[in-house]
Structure 1
Amino acid sequence: VEALKPIVPHSLITASAERHPPIRRAMNANFGRSLYVRLHECLQNQISSMVRAFDSAAEDGRVVELDSAMVELTFGVIFQMTISQSSAKYMNFLEHPLAQLVAQIMRESIELMSKPHLQLLGRFGAPKLYDAIRQVKRIALQVVKERRTENEADRLARNGEDLLDVLLKVPYETDDFIVSELIELFLAGTDTTAHTLAFCIFELTQNDSVRSRLLSEIHALKTTAVPMYTTAAPKAAGRVVNTQNIPSCSPTDSFTSNSFNYPSFDGVQTELEYGGMVWKETLRMRPVSATGTYRTLTEDAVLPATQVFLEKGTDVLLPPFAMHFDEEVWPNPYVFDPDRFSREKVRERGAFALQTFSSGSRNCVGQFFATHEGLTVLAVLLDRYEFTPVCDPSTVTQHHTITSRPISKLPDGSHYNGLPVRISKRNNS
């Protein structure tokens, strides 16, 4: 948390023990169905653009880096969900100056995390990072000012509330809080979900029975044919891999479909039970918030299993890799087994064994958003495409910076920063 204070000094995640409860209660009170349905609509827009790009990649036989494609998708969703009106005039959200600066903050933060000695120098150790933060704050303050003074016509044009409206309803909080929270939402709402999606699709390529069972559930899902987004050219949908030493493939047949199958909000919530189990098993085996859950004891405590005494004020870390691979809690922990998350086994195991979204009063405020986003994207993409890794599957592992993302090796043995896949269209789509 201390490392985040220079970036988001007034946000929920860095709030003191006194400030946190009222802020969290106010935000929870406004996270209702209408906001979640708005999320589902934003997802449809961003997935439409991804489907066009993936169709193009499949038609041309191109190899796509899946992780960066998912980052682009999730960034677009959180950006549209957060400042919808400010971004409306941009055909491609990546052209918005705020989006470009937040992406720079992500890059510079990762660079700073890899060089701890520079953290001791403050702004002098990371001048580009601090300059980007300064510019983001300036633009975000302008966005907040415009929202506070918008007229009724502009409000109606936004077609519902977004996350900025929620932040503006938090009582007694300043513009500094709103700006910090906007930046936090951009950072926390992008990489975590994107990396989990990439890892989940990879795990499904390696587990035929799990994939078949999930596909049966997805194919039974009621969907609507949604026209593709056609007001702009398809985005890159991830980096294109250097295919010099990757076996060649023949382009698939040309596609003429101009729509894709999109499930309803309620369908995702009620009809993807096994999908939710697959999602949680991915989060267990590939925890992207891999640093862990930090807490400071507010009273003396004794660990029941070891009788170790911990004094009030002690900082405690719950490392997910240790907890998620404990054989006493998770038999055969290195096997991808979504049935671990059947209702019966979850009841037997207890609520705190899975630490993906932290736990307690400071657990992740956006976990519903992330889960719904992940399941919706999986339902659309798996219904339409087959994914085949072009790297050696045994080399896919996690690289940890602020979050854990996939890295792999290409067929020539060279290291690759991401997860390269070949995409083909399913016969049923």
Structure 2
Amino acid sequence: MGWAEHDFPHPSGRRRILGDAFRKGMDPTTPVQNMLRLGADLGPIFEMLAMGRKFVFARGVDLVGELCDDKRFTKALAPGVADLRMFVADGLFTAETDEPNWRLAHDLLMPAFSKSAMRGYHDVMVEATDELISVWDKAAGEGRTVDVSPWLTKLTLETIGRAAFSHTFHSFETAEVDPFVTTFVADMSHAAVRSNVAALPFVGRRMVRTRDREALVRHEYIDRLLRDIVAERETSGVEHDDLLGRMMHVPVDESGSLLDAANVRHQILTLLVAGHETTSGAVSFALYHLTREPEVLARVRAELDEVLGTDPSATPSFEQVPKLRYLRRVVDETLRLWPTAPGFARSPRETTTIGADGSAGVPGGLRMTPDDKVLVFIPLLHRDPEVWPDPERFDPDRFLPEHIRARPAHAYKPFGTGERACIGRQFALHESVIVLAKLLHRFDLTPEPGYELTITERLTLMPVGFRVGLTRR
């Protein structure tokens, strides 16, 4: 992570070997939640030391704004993201910006994720949501609760599979979690801890080699699945107008070259994972907050009744989705508190100085070289009390147009930044509004008594154990 020239504020009680990690009372499997507690009072830029490795984090709005300048800075691969390359190589999320396949795939796929392109995905999103509603409707009739996040993960996986690759996972035929999900969750968990394990004295590298072998054997299931998706398309002889069709048949340069076969598989995997994991987490967090904020929920319901009518089985048309403005603000506020991809890393294109205006808390600023990485820690950026008054309060009206205009431009970054921002953000937002609209118009949701928000971390954030009772409206 570089930064040999500088020392930064850090939590008190640093230990010689463990550094700032593995503190008493803190779960080592929840680093994001630990950071929320440890980093809240450390200023705009701070460091954490873990097993002899320095990690530098930025959360100050002005400093983050500077780091988001694509002319001076570019995406860097955070350790967990870099370790994910053993599974997805130079896919859109894990590629270095100067790798050729990133630019080729990005420019090829970008038109398929524009706002106007959402019209082509709308009916698929509605169809998959209706299938989930049928499952939940049966549970409501039988008086059973449902575990929210696993079912929403089924929904978002099914949606991206059908919309992007014309492939179904048959997600609603069983309550079991699809092996694709369990396998890649294990991949992400492996990537999230791989660097920390490698840093363990004496045994770390040997443990990593053993775990790598086990992970790659487990990952063979996904590799076979990806090859089958491509082979099925090739043997069908049908050119579908979807993302897979673009990757297989649309030239990426003037010579007529196509994406190479291995990169097509890497992009399929990247889009499947990024297209379902973060969205299911965001909708799950939104439902958690809505079940605890009766006034917010009442406003959502009033808007749904006004736009969709009082028939609880009504479906929003493509033209009606933008009219659900308050519900969209609910999604925005959810992503403020719980950005499901909680950070991104930046490095300068050449040696430079950051925070020369004092925003780094150091007179004259900080010298930063291309070997230095800063992790923009979004949950703390989104909780700066000078920008977000009473930051822990769930308030969708923070995203009224007049409040957005009054805030610094880089105060809100749930999808990353610049040309390396999430390519599927319009897809995720459109789907989130549809799913929430249909579920909340159809059901009253009652959370199980005594549940306290519990979050699992696997490079992304996801509520766990959040169950609700369902009553048909």
Residues 220-246 of structure 1: CA deviation (Å, up to 9, x unaligned) = 224798xxxxxxxxxxxxxxxxxxxxx
Q: Secondary structure at the match of 1:326?
A: coil
Say whether residues 1:271 and 2:323 are aligned partners: yes
Say whether residues 1:376 and 2:434 are aligned partners: yes
Could you tell me which residue of structure 1 aligns to residue 94 of structure 2?
Answer: 14
Cα distance change of structure 1 residues 94 and 62 upon mapping to structure 2, 3 Å threshold = closer
Matches within 5 A, 1:367-406: 367-393=425-451, 395-406=452-463
d(CA) in 2 for partners of 1:92, 1:207: 31
Say whether residues 1:359 and 2:406 are aligned partners: no
Cα distance change of structure 1 residues 17 and 108 upon mapping to structure 2, 3 Å threshold = closer
> TM-score of the superposition, structure 2-length normalised?
0.72
Matches within 5 A, 1:334-345: 334-345=392-403
Is the 8 Å Cα contact of residues 101 and 132 (structure 1) preserved in structure 2?
A: no
Is the 8 Å Cα contact of residues 190 and 215 (structure 2) preserved in structure 1?
A: no
State the shift of 1:219 in Å. 1.2
Could you tell me which residue of structure 2 aligns to residue 211 of structure 1?
Answer: 297
2:374 counterpart (298, 302, 316)? 316
d(CA) in 2 for partners of 1:183, 1:48: 25
Cα distance change of structure 1 residues 391 and 39 upon mapping to structure 2, 3 Å threshold = farther
Cα distance change of structure 1 residues 223 and 106 upon mapping to structure 2, 3 Å threshold = farther
State the shift of 1:114 in Å. 4.9
Is the 8 Å Cα contact of residues 285 and 338 (structure 2) preserved in structure 1?
A: yes
Say whether residues 1:350 and 2:434 are aligned partners: no
Is the 8 Å Cα contact of residues 341 and 460 (structure 2) preserved in structure 1?
A: yes
Q: Which moved more, 1:369-378 or 1:205-214?
A: 205-214
Is the 8 Å Cα contact of residues 223 and 264 (structure 1) preserved in structure 2?
A: no
d(CA) in 2 for partners of 1:94, 1:140: 21
Is the 8 Å Cα contact of residues 189 and 370 (structure 1) preserved in structure 2?
A: yes
State the shift of 1:34 in Å. 7.0
Cα distance change of structure 1 residues 91 and 113 upon mapping to structure 2, 3 Å threshold = closer
d(CA) in 1 for partners of 2:209, 2:111: 37
State the shift of 1:351 in Å. 3.0
Residues 221-273 of structure 1: CA deviation (Å, up to 9, x unaligned) = 24798xxxxxxxxxxxxxxxxxxxxxxxxxxxxxxxxx9321111211x2111
Residues 6-26 of structure 1: CA deviation (Å, up to 9, x unaligned) = 011021122232233443222
d(CA) in 1 for partners of 2:273, 2:112: 21
Cα distance change of structure 1 residues 70 and 30 upon mapping to structure 2, 3 Å threshold = closer
2:471 counterpart (414, 419, 424)? 424
Structure 1: any 5+ residue segments left out of the alignment?
A: 226-258, 407-416
Say whether residues 1:67 and 2:153 are aligned partners: no
d(CA) in 1 for partners of 2:120, 2:213: 37
Say whether residues 1:133 and 2:219 are aligned partners: yes
Cα distance change of structure 1 residues 170 and 333 upon mapping to structure 2, 3 Å threshold = farther
Matches within 5 A, 1:15-414: 15-18=95-98, 19=100, 20-32=102-114, 35-84=117-166, 86-87=167-168, 92=171, 100-110=179-189, 113-114=192-193, 116-117=196-197, 120=205, 121-122=207-208, 124-148=210-234, 150-151=236-237, 154-155=238-239, 161-168=241-248, 169=250, 171=252, 172=257, 173-222=259-308, 260-268=313-321, 270-290=322-342, 292-299=343-350, 300-303=352-355, 304=357, 305-306=359-360, 307-313=364-370, 314-393=372-451, 395-406=452-463
d(CA) in 1 for partners of 2:404, 2:181: 37
Could you tell me the percent identity over the aligned residues? 27
Q: Secondary structure at the match of 1:355?
A: coil
State the shift of 1:288 in Å. 1.5
Residues 320-353 of structure 1: CA deviation (Å, up to 9, x unaligned) = 1210111011011011111111111111213321
Could you tell me which residue of structure 2 aligns to residue 240 of structure 1?
Answer: none
> TM-score of the superposition, structure 1-length normalised?
0.79
State the shift of 1:79 in Å. 1.5
Is the 8 Å Cα contact of residues 75 and 189 (structure 1) preserved in structure 2?
A: yes
d(CA) in 2 for partners of 1:377, 1:16: 33
Is the 8 Å Cα contact of residues 282 and 340 (structure 2) preserved in structure 1?
A: yes
State the shift of 1:92 in Å. 4.9
Is the 8 Å Cα contact of residues 79 and 93 (structure 1) preserved in structure 2?
A: no
State the shift of 1:71 in Å. 0.9
d(CA) in 2 for partners of 1:163, 1:377: 22
Q: Secondary structure at the match of 1:328?
A: coil
Is the 8 Å Cα contact of residues 385 and 425 (structure 1) preserved in structure 2?
A: yes
Cα distance change of structure 1 residues 10 and 318 upon mapping to structure 2, 3 Å threshold = same
Q: Secondary structure at the match of 1:266?
A: coil
Aligned residues: 369
State the shift of 1:149 in Å. 5.6
State the shift of 1:132 in Å. 3.5
RMSD: 2.6
